[in-house]
Chains A and B, each alone.
Chain A
């Protein structure tokens, strides 16, 4: 690496001295009007947003999306990385990216004004983009209760009546981490054992299959994210039955609120198009983008004053759990170990 630094410095000098070469360099060329996004969100979900951004600003958005490993890629690419903006979909990932040292403070007054303090990093390394709650899909026929808590999932009255996907999936990992933050490890273990004892079947499938299992009568309560239900209800005629047979309840922790996970944006440490990156981040937090986000993806916008989608609003009022994001991130590993310890997935 010692050899590379002088080389990079030489490159920079050459680039400054001769604008002719400047145009040929991809990194430099990118600065004229592009921004590169590394995303854990699927391209198809965010493309409408980026198209609008390009139409408004003339800045082209280049995207790569993956399921895991993007932090490692950015880190490996180092100073030559084309990454400007990172988009993540889970609390744990935000933390991981910041600790990997691949981000820089965004320092934007516009973004600070748009996002409530609970949903952004005090040091400005990340901003929340949208929220999704981890909730219950309950049977319309068999469950009369309208208010439920996460805590009572361990109540023996639900024996053989609960369905959930793998306890190691990131959505459940964050939920169980929040449970540890609320209850402490010992109590949380007891709780998780209780939930395990109530499961109707071995954890498997995804959140959609969970709704299907409830609809089919395999269980009465399924645990899933808010947007899956709306997608089944409104966007997929073949799954509408599953949504219709179930009802969404926004559960709370006793003495707390509903568990919410965040999607977030971060700025890459060596962003070659820093200004455009910040511009994109600010735009994504603007009213227009937040509205598109809420309506296309059925997520809760992070910006106050932007209306949630009517289907999502129909779930009732969301009382967000007040645990700081960092606090949940801290307990992720313990939550994962707990799942192994109680044999949750076995």
Chain B
């Protein structure tokens, strides 16, 4: 075992703290699930689960395939090539993440359903009956796979792009000198080496899909999460819902195993000679145009089209008049999301740093636990979090009042801090996942070398690890921040009186059936996402050596 230096000690302390807070809601959901619910499972096994499991599997398989196709191809093009428009695409490609899945579903249904703009366009050429027949049916399994993938592929894109940048260096160049084509390098070298990153991005996209309720229900797909909510709300059985949620944990365990499989045997790390970035291959002519088109497809469909629709609705409905009222929502949103992003990144880094300096069962367990927050649907997590939060608040209340001091009321829930805590618990998994793959690429020799030459653990981290962790850090920051901006169910349940965020504002309109009136709030979520995305992609895009 390595000796425990100061950085390792602090990191281990933080890792234990992370495991503790993430475990709180999970334990409280599991406890709830222990209550017997007579008759529930018989019913579920007979009528619900076969169908639900089938639909969920098809949805996950479809979304998995499409997000990998879109995410991996664009990440490879951007990370390993230079072509006109690349700089613009660099910050456009992650942005579909800023469109909440249910908003994407509403937009697409509205555009492509009968009587919508596409239908009207077709009527110019086709007789009415044929025009209706020519429209795609988006309220279907295929529609759901298409719409969800369009806004979730950035998980795969961001995680792989961070990997491709650093990873491909040595081998890619060796291959190139040996005369390998770009395509061959992708298949034979970059993709296999980026498999751990692919696994992380894919796991995140699939968990997000699994926990989605708005888009699935609207598009008529009966996912597992839809069943959880039915059992809770229509059978009045929260314990039953908790049992289903715990069953989902098994599905998730399978996903994690898949991810492990992705990482398995991938212990080869960067050569100690040059852990730098490979020169990007310049593309010209038809190749440059194809690259541009491949990258533009997801950007246009997943981002620009919904964006244009939201902008049109905002103008059409003169929603800019809401701007005054919505300013405070924007402020709360950025405040909650900003706090949570910093928290999640620090804790995620701490968990993996503890693993690095003090690898062992304890720190491995902390890492595993840090992933569980992402495995429950947001609302189930929030419900599980209620009891621990209130217990803490009551403790503070009684402590202060018994000391004769004024009570702050419910400290965490009343102040909105509960919302940020929920975000951290939910999204620390993103940070952990990204840091894990990034750390795995840094050879242990580096640490030993640095330590032997007298550097402290802090110095080693700062001077050796940080530069190599940077792309992963920045990608994780973007994902966590944007995920927090659009998070809805936990925000709805845990926010204080009189507080609205952008996503709860959209919900106010959507729940009465006119989500278009929430277009301005949706645009502001996008706007709030664009700023960090531009800033961070600029930082993360390492210039090639030729530049």
Contacts and interface: CB of A to CB of B under 8 A. Distances in A.
Interface stretch (B43-51, B339-347, B430-438): B43-51
Interface in A115-135: none
Nearest to A89: B511
A11 B509 contact: no
A14 B235 contact: no
Interface stretch (B58-66, B155-163, B492-500): B492-500
Nearest to B413: A77
B49 to A, nearest CB: 10
A346 B51 contact: yes
Interface string B483-494: 000000100111
Given A80-B390, A80-B410, A217-B132, A170 B139 contact: no
B13 interface: no
A103 to B, nearest CB: 16
Contacts of A216: 113-115, 132
A69 B397 CA distance: 24
B406 interface: yes
Interface string B374-389: 0000010011001101
Interface string A134-161: 0000000000000000000000000000
Interface string B296-339: 00000000000000000000100000000000000000000000
A105 interface: no
Question: Which of B220, B229, B232 has the most chain A CB within a 10 Å cutoff?
Answer: B220
A202 B115 contact: no
A22 B316 CA distance: 51
A228 B513 contact: yes
Contact of B236 (A96, A242, A341): A96
B394 A78 contact: yes
B514 interface: yes
B48 A340 contact: yes
Contact of A63 (B113, B489, B498): B498
- Find the residue from B218, B234, B235, B511 having the highest chain A CB count within 10 A: B234
A10 to B, nearest CB: 5
Contacts of A110: none
B274 interface: no
B230 interface: yes
B390 A335 contact: no
B508 A72 contact: no
A44 B508 CA distance: 7
A66 B495 CA distance: 10
A14 B404 contact: yes
Contact of B410 (A77, A209, A231): A77
A64 B394 CA distance: 21
A69 B383 contact: yes
B382 A69 contact: yes
A336 B234 contact: yes
A67 B115 contact: no
A312 B21 CA distance: 51
Nearest to A79: B394
Interface string A15-36: 0000001001111000000001
Contact of B414 (A3, A26, A45): A26
B496 A64 contact: yes
Given A67-B507, A336-B235, A204 B498 contact: no
Contact of B220 (A66, A207, A236, A345): A345
Interface string A24-57: 1111000000001000001111000000000000
Contacts of B114: 212-213, 216-218
A322 interface: no
A212 B112 CA distance: 12
Given A11-B401, A336-B234, A212 B220 contact: no
Contacts of A340: 43, 47-48, 230
Contacts of B382: 69
B402 A7 contact: yes
Interface string B458-493: 000000000000000000000000000000010011
Given A78-B390, A333-B235, A336-B234, A26 B513 contact: no
A65 B132 CA distance: 39
Nearest to B498: A62
A246 interface: no
Interface in B165-209: none
A28 B470 CA distance: 50
Contacts of B220: 166, 202-205, 345
B139 A202 contact: yes
B115 A242 contact: yes
B110 to A, nearest CB: 9
A27 B394 CA distance: 13
A332 to B, nearest CB: 6
Nearest to B398: A7
A64 B508 contact: no
A293 to B, nearest CB: 14
B105 to A, nearest CB: 10
A68 B398 CA distance: 29
A337 interface: yes
A168 B394 contact: no
Nearest to A272: B409
A8 B398 contact: yes
A238 B301 CA distance: 23
B33 to A, nearest CB: 15
Contacts of A112: none
B539 interface: no
A80 B394 contact: yes
B34 interface: no
B145 interface: no
A211 to B, nearest CB: 10
Contact of A44 (B48, B229, B509): B509
Interface in B250-309: none
Q: Which has the most chain B C-beta neighbours within 10 Å: A64, A173, A217?
A: A64
Given A44-B508, A345-B220, 10 more contacts: A8-B398, A11-B397, A70-B493, A80-B393, A82-B410, A96-B236, A212-B115, A333-B235, A343-B51, A345-B222
Closest 3 CB pairs of A and B: A204-B220, A216-B114, A7-B398
Interface of B: 43, 47-48, 51, 109, 113-115, 132, 139-140, 217-220, 222, 226, 229-230, 232-236, 238, 316, 379, 382-383, 386-387, 389-390, 393-394, 397-399, 401-402, 404, 406-410, 413-414, 489, 492-500, 504, 507-509, 511-514, 516
10 contacts: A36-B497, A63-B497, A64-B496, A68-B379, A69-B382, A69-B492, A82-B414, A82-B497, A173-B234, A212-B114
Interface of A: 3-4, 7-8, 10-11, 14, 21, 24-27, 36, 42-45, 62-70, 72-73, 76-78, 80-82, 92, 96, 166, 168, 170, 173, 201-209, 212-213, 215-218, 228, 231, 235-236, 238, 241-242, 332-333, 335-337, 340-341, 343, 345-346
